[in-house]
Amino acid sequence: MTQRQTLYFSQPGQVEIRTEDLPALPDDQVRVQAIVSAISPGSEMLVYRGQCPQDLPDAHDPLSSNITYPIAYGYASVGQVVEVGKSVPRELLGKLVFGFQPHTSHWQAAPENLHPVPDGLSPLTACFLPNMETAVNLVHDTSPLLGERALVLGQGIVGLLVTALLTEFPLEKLVTTELHPLRQAASEHLGAVCVNVSQGNADEAVRQALGSPADFCIEISGSPAALDTAIRQTGFGGRIIIGSWYGEKKAGLDLGGAFHRSRIQLISSQVSSINPALSARWDKLRRFEAAWQALRRIKPEQWVTQTFPLGQAAQAYQLLDEQPGQTIQVMFDYETT
């Protein structure tokens, strides 16, 4: 084992697999052989399409900062420890671990940056850790109350995870919206009332499904236009939690009408930090534990729609770009050729 295969976004709309020599392993790190990694259809498609801001200094989220091509990008890899540095306990050999790593056949990290996969969870399930942590963070920032009416815009993988978590709360109503029938069906299977926004008067359909204006709305569709929908559907004094990363896409909001007197809160939510209101009791370690437990309950591997070997990465991103309605979660499998 002297080389690895790594996916690079070489320029907008183009990916390539490069064969690289494995770097020397530092004494305080381990080497991991990847088993599976998950494509993030939100942020990775912004990179693929060239829609990321080019000047985004963010100490909390270095993966989303200063993106220039070519770039190895990704943050959901699960594999097995196959080599340890001289100062690392040999007990780590053979362990199944998660890492915030790009799509590559082998990667290395310090032990403190590894996340051991809990017993009983498969590599496939463990790949959902970042998106589940995001979903937990969104729910934390929302603070749902008993009897509230909830609206979730977008039922991609993060939207479905959020919806699954919200079904565990005693809400009065849980309404979701989605463009693609495959994802709509997955949302309805969870127990939500899902409105297909590609058909008819979607605003009226959402209003009828809610019965009364939403107490809170979580916007996770990735579409800036959805923010106006959120404003129209949220009641007086309600809150809108914005989890989408729009990249360079602009949001042209209608704030000159009812919003002006609505006292609606627009709340940004991003997983790289902890809500300041919770930070006295919550840290990232506790939030990761909550995410692992949620993965056990929800079993999101049910939403894996396609698995590709890394060598077919171009086809995977083309599918996500051109036929997103045929996908929910796309994976790379490193054990196939």
Distance CA 305, CA 300 (A): 11
Distance CA 237, CA 231 (A): 11
Distance CA 76, CA 87 (A): 26
Q: What separation in angstroms does the CA of 329 have from each of 41, 124, 144?
A: 8, 11, 27
Asked if 291 and 140 touch (Cβ cutoff 8 Å), the reply is no
Q: Which residue has the tokens 């770009």?
A: 321
Domains in the chain, start-ordered, CATH in brackets? Answer: 3-127+299-333 (3.90.180.10), 139-268 (3.40.50.720)
Asked if 242 and 268 touch (Cβ cutoff 8 Å), the reply is yes
Q: Is the dihedral of CA 267, 324, 311, 129 positive or negative?
A: positive
Structure tokens at 84: 């340890």
Per DSSP, what are the bridge partners of residue 18? 6
Per-residue pLDDT of the chain (337 residues; tens, 9 = 90+): 689 999 999 999 999 999 999 999 999 999 999 999 999 988 899 899 988 766 544 433 445 556 789 999 999 999 999 999 999 999 999 999 999 999 999 999 999 999 999 999 999 999 999 999 999 999 999 999 999 999 999 999 999 999 999 999 999 999 999 999 999 999 999 999 999 998 878 899 999 999 999 999 999 998 888 888 898 999 999 999 998 877 677 777 778 777 877 898 998 998 989 999 999 999 999 999 999 999 999 999 999 999 999 999 999 999 999 999 999 999 999 987 5
Asked if 23 and 108 touch (Cβ cutoff 8 Å), the reply is yes
Distance CA 108, CA 24 (A): 10
